[in-house]
Amino acid sequence: MSPEQFNIAGKVVVITGGLGQLGSQYARELLGRGALVAVLDRQVSDPERRRIFGDLADDRRLLCLAADVTRRDSLEQALAGVQERWGAPHGLINNAALDSPPDAPVQENGPFETYPEASWDRVMEVNAKGVFLCCQVFGGTMAQAGRGSIINICSTYGLVSPDQRLYAYRRAQGQEFFKPVAYSASKSALLNLTRYLATYWGERGVRVNCLTLGGVYNNQDQQFVEAYESRVPLGRMARPEEYNGAVVFLLSDASAYMTGANLVMDGGWTAW
């Protein structure tokens, strides 16, 4: 395989949730490879942009736009901004997502039987509806152009159920803590949305794939990290930069014959 097949220089790539830990990591990697990167996030301030991207903040190949993935009109405005600068996008990374953090209100991380309906709606709106709308707006434009690659960021918890034993230490401390249901359900939805769009847009040159990720180091509780790592065949969580290669592969011609697939990078978590 020629290195040229991995070349993404000059390609216009949209990243939702692009100011987050992984979204900004993808953006830096793609910029380093000569891509034109449009970062979308709910709020985009100049200080935050500079804090995250440093010297790259003034790079003309980086465009930061405020957009709400749950609103079609907001996404259409973002698309107009991208097209005005560079034309139709070549790639879309659906990275924006909500999850219940460990320090969320007790009812958020409580038993399934009392999980709040409002929490379910909020997570599903961003993680499922948001991807659906982004595919309509940006993917539809790519289909009109007759080319493109969409990467839907999934999770091991979209393939298998969360291992509630990871949180046993919290319950031993007297906390009623369970990994909530909505995140898993929303990520599972992306698997079949990906297959649907891969078959729907296949003849129009748009490839659609899932990238399923495992846990990433992000200043988690040490007891959680130890419990998680004991469950991973490779014995550790992922470093944020370790997913960059897969993103480049899926955006580039190296994966030209790959669509409707799910690329799993989880340190072996789902191999047990």
The Cα angle at residue 38 between residues 140 and 52, in degrees rounded to 5: 145
Structural contact between residues 31 and 37, judged by C-beta atoms closer than 8 angstroms: yes
Inform me whether the pLDDT recorded for 104 exceeds 80.
no
Predicted local confidence at residue 51, as pLDDT: 95
Both tokens of 2, joined, read 């020629």
Average pLDDT of the residues in 131-136: 98
Distance CA 217, CA 232 (A): 13
* Residue 185, pLDDT above cutoff 80: yes
Sign for the CA dihedral angle at 192, 198, 199, 201 comes to positive
Total residues found in the chain within this entry: 272
159 Cβ neighbours under 8 A, 6+ residues apart: 188, 191, 212, 262, 264, 270
End-to-end CA distance of the chain: 32
Residue % of the chain over a pLDDT of 90:
92
Report the C-alpha gap between 20 and 42 in whole angstroms.
Answer: 11
Question: pLDDT tens, 15-38?
Answer: 999 999 999 999 999 999 999 999
CA 58, CA 246: separation in Å to the nearest integer?
Answer: 27
Only one residue has tokens 């997913």, namely: 243
Pairing, β 36-41 against β 62-66: parallel
- Say which DSSP state 122 is in: H
Q: Torsion-angle region of residue 255: left (phi > 0), alpha (psi -120 to 50) or beta? A: alpha
Evaluate if residue 48 carries a pLDDT over 80. Answer: yes
Q: What's the number of CA atoms in the CB half-sphere (13 Å) around residue 23?
A: 24
Q: What is the 3-state secondary structure (H, E, C) of 228-254?
A: HHCCCCCCCCECHHHHHHHHHHHHCHH
Q: Mind listing the domains of the chain with CATH numbers?
A: 3-103+121-159+181-218+238-264 (3.40.50.720)
Quote the pLDDT of residue 1.
64
pLDDT at 137: 98
Residue 209 binned pLDDT confidence (cut-offs 50, 70, 90): very high
Report the chain's mean pLDDT, rounded to a whole number. Answer: 95
Model confidence at 61: pLDDT above 70:
yes
Task: Indicate the pLDDT class of residue 124, thresholds 50, 70 and 90.
Answer: very high
pTM reported for the whole predicted model? 0.96
Q: Look up residue 42 and give its two tokens.
A: 């709910």
